[in-house]
């Protein structure tokens, strides 16, 4: 019955499933929290000028509803908003598992065909939140164990991975992949490999860390043997004797793909209609050239797996059909307002291939620089007799507001030698203290435009 109703609702365009996609720490959880808060306060129109349904006065109200999938934990909006709007305000905790949320948006219909039958209509919006680490598992679906191992071999030839992987690689040299299977060796190799991934993440903020569950296992997989394998060097596909370390690692890799990765994407991603891709470009600028390259390549690799249109992997596997994609550069409150167009152009250039592919397949796209929660104010200062634009906010490590000029966002990727130390200085800020969070939506930058693009045509 549920499935049947759901189908009817979808045919009448009464249901939208929104995929919020982004690498770890790109701002997914904060985006979802702010989106819900903006919609719950949507009838106070002043904070969403570009969201037409709110601005036209046709919005009747929004409510969080019981989600359709009862076996998935609910997105803890109440907890997240309590932290964001607490005293002192804090950012929500990093996400360690999947959660889901359903919103019902009630509005006065404008549709000439249905408005006489039912002048008040409801649009259901389903959103899931999950750790960004798991996205990097998607490209594995197209790689054999040997191809994946080879890819990691290549990555480890360059710094910082070359040094960070030293201990793990030294251990691989102590045995032969064609040796008889040995649980102790397999466990030790996977522990050292997982340590290497953690170092890449914590020291350099790298994203291309596969398998994704090694750094973020989720509650159900901690300590499971399916997380005990790693890539091997010097393997030959014809080494295919049974019961060797190589065949055992390969078996676990295939199991991981089939029962963890495919299962997750089939269950949660197959029915999405719309997608927002969040990228924290500014963090990569701060961390330097290798981190930037890693972010760009990770995102492009993931988006290649999404490949919109009939030939795409997710379409072939699960019938995914997305008709609109919003590319969003997050945390736009870290830069001065004049820099927003540069940030948008930069993101567009960075994801040019995906963009081109999506529009070729008939997917409607847009690029936006946005802040889900605006933590800074635009201000001006005088420096050497010149008036310069700056931002004012409370840095994450401090309790006092400061004004600073965070630097210019380049339109094109700087050459490796142009990433000089301290060229970019995009500070992290504390969330703003708000006197009355129940009076109006959270302060934001262009979240209303994001809502209009993602949902506007459904009303």
Ligand X SMILES: Nc1nc2c(ncn2[C@@H]2O[C@H](COP(=O)(O)OP(=O)(O)O)[C@@H](O)[C@H]2O)c(=O)[nH]1
- What backbone phi and psi angles, to 5 degrees, belong to 161? -65, -30
To the nearest whole angstrom, how small is the minimum distance from the Cβ of residue 131 to ligand X? 7
Name which of residues 72 to 131 contact ligand X (CB under 6 A): 91-92, 94-95
To the nearest whole angstrom, how small is the minimum distance from the Cβ of residue 17 to ligand X? 18
Backbone conformation region of residue 205, classed left if phi is above 0, alpha if psi is from -120 to 50, else beta: left
To the nearest whole angstrom, how small is the minimum distance from the Cβ of residue 346 to ligand X? 17
Name which of residues 166 to 225 contact ligand X (CB under 6 A): none
To the nearest whole angstrom, how small is the minimum distance from the Cβ of residue 291 to Mg ion? 19
CB of 218 closer than 8 Å to CB of 263: no
User: Is the C-alpha dihedral spanning 136, 142, 145, 148 positive or negative?
Assistant: negative
Q: Please give the DSSP secondary-structure letter assigned to residue 195.
A: H
Interacting stretch for ligand X, rule CB under 6 A, among 110-118, 209-217, 325-333, 360-368? 325-333
C-beta of 43 vs 96, nearer to Mg ion: 96
Q: Indicate which single residue of 100, 333, 344, 452 sits in contact with ligand X (rule: CB under 6 A).
A: 333
Q: Which residue is nearest to ligand X (CB)?
A: 91
Per rule CB under 6 A, count of chain residues that contact ligand X: 23
C-beta of 77 vs 91, nearer to ligand X: 91
Task: State yes or no: residue 429 binds ligand X (CB under 6 A).
Answer: yes
Cis omega before residue 200 (within 30°)?
no
Task: State yes or no: residue 95 binds Mg ion (CB under 5 A).
Answer: yes
Task: State yes or no: residue 350 binds ligand X (CB under 6 A).
Answer: no
From Mg ion, ligand X, none, interface partner of 19 (C-beta below 5 to 8 A by class): none
DSSP 64-105: EE--S-TTSPBP-HHHHHHHHTSSS--PPPPP-S-EEEEEEE
CB of 455 closer than 8 Å to CB of 125: yes
The encoded tokens of residue 211 equal 């398998």
Name which of residues 7 to 66 contact ligand X (CB under 6 A): 22, 24-30
Q: Please give the DSSP secondary-structure letter assigned to residue 262.
A: H
Any idea how long the chain is? 459
Residues 140, 255: Cα–Cα separation, whole Å = 12
CA distances from 289 to 268, 296, 358 (A): 34, 11, 27
Task: State yes or no: residue 401 binds ligand X (CB under 6 A).
Answer: no
From ligand X, Mg ion, none, interface partner of 315 (C-beta below 5 to 8 A by class): none
To the nearest whole angstrom, how small is the minimum distance from the Cβ of residue 72 to ligand X? 17
To the nearest whole angstrom, how small is the minimum distance from the Cβ of residue 161 to ligand X? 22
From Mg ion, ligand X, none, interface partner of 24 (C-beta below 5 to 8 A by class): ligand X
Instruction: Count CB atoms within 10 A of the CB of residue 258.
Output: 11
Task: State yes or no: residue 29 binds Mg ion (CB under 5 A).
Answer: yes
C-beta of 152 vs 209, nearer to ligand X: 209
Task: State yes or no: residue 190 binds Mg ion (CB under 5 A).
Answer: no
- Quick note: the x/- pattern for Mg ion over 117-136, rule CB under 5 A, is --------------------
Q: Indicate which single residue of 161, 213, 287, 331 sits in contact with ligand X (rule: CB under 6 A).
A: 331
C-beta of 28 vs 274, nearer to ligand X: 28
At CB < 8 A and 24+ separation, what contacts does 315-318 make?
317/141, 317/262, 317/265, 317/266, 318/265, 318/266, 318/269, 318/270
Q: Which residue is nearest to Mg ion (CB)?
A: 95
Radius of gyration of the chain (CA): 24
Residue carrying the six token digits 């649009």:
123
Task: State yes or no: residue 428 binds ligand X (CB under 6 A).
Answer: yes
CA angle 263, 268, 269 (to 5 degrees): 100
3-state secondary structure (DSSP) of residue 16: strand
Interaction site with ligand X (CB under 6 A): 22, 24-30, 91-92, 94-95, 132, 330-331, 333-334, 371-373, 375, 428-429
Interaction site with Mg ion (CB under 5 A): 28-29, 95
């Amino acid at each position: 019955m549920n499935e049947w109703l759901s189908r009817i609702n979808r045919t009448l365009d009464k249901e939208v499933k929104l995929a919020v996609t982004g690498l770890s720490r790109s701002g997914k959880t904060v985006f979802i929290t702010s989106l819900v808060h903006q919609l719950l306060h949507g009838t106070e129109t002043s904070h969403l000028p570009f969201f037409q349904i709110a601005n036209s006065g046709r919005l009747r109200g929004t409510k969080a509803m019981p989600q359709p999938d009862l076996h998935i934990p609910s997105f803890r909006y109440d907890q997240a908003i309590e932290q964001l709007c607490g005293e002192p305000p804090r950012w929500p905790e990093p996400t360690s598992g999947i959660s889901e949320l359903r919103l019902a948006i009630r509005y006065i219909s404008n549709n000439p065909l249905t408005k006489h039958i039912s002048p008040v209509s409801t649009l259901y919006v389903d959103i899931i939140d999950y750790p960004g680490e798991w996205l990097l598992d998607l490209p594995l679906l197209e790689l054999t164990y040997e191809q994946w191992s080879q890819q990691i071999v290549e990555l480890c030839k360059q710094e910082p991975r070359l040094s960070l992987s030293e201990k793990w690689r030294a251990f691989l040299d102590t045995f032969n992949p064609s040796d008889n299977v040995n649980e102790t060796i397999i466990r030790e190799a996977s522990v050292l490999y997982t340590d290497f991934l953690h170092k890449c993440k914590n020291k350099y903020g790298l994203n291309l860390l596969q398998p994704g569950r090694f750094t973020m296992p989720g509650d159900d997989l901690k300590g499971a043997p399916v997380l005990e394998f790693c890539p091997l060097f010097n393997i030959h596909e014809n080494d295919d004797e049974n019961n060797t370390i190589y065949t055992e690692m390969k078996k676990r890799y295939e199991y991981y793909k089939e029962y963890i990765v495919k299962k997750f994407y089939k269950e949660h991603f197959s029915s999405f209609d719309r997608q927002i891709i969040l990228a924290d470009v500014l963090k990569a600028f701060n961390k330097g050239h290798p981190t930037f390259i890693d972010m760009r390549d990770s995102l492009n690799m993931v988006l290649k797996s999404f490949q919109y249109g009939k030939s795409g992997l997710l379409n072939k596997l699960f019938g995914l059909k997305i008709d609109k994609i919003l590319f969003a550069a997050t945390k736009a409150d870290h830069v001065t307002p004049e820099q927003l167009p540069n940030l948008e152009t930069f993101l567009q250039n960075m994801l040019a291939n995906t963009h081109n592919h999506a529009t070729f397949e008939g997917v409607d796209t847009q690029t936006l620089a946005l802040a889900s929660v605006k933590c800074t104010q635009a201000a001006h200062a005088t420096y050497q007799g010149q008036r310069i634009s700056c931002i004012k906010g409370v840095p994450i490590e401090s309790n006092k507001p400061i004004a600073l000029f965070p630097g210019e966002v380049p339109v094109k990727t700087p050459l490796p030698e142009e990433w000089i130390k301290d060229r970019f200085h995009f500070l992290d800020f504390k969330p703003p203290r708000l006197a009355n969070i129940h009076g109006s939506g959270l302060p934001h930058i262009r979240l209303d435009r994001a809502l209009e693009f993602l949902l506007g045509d459904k009303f």
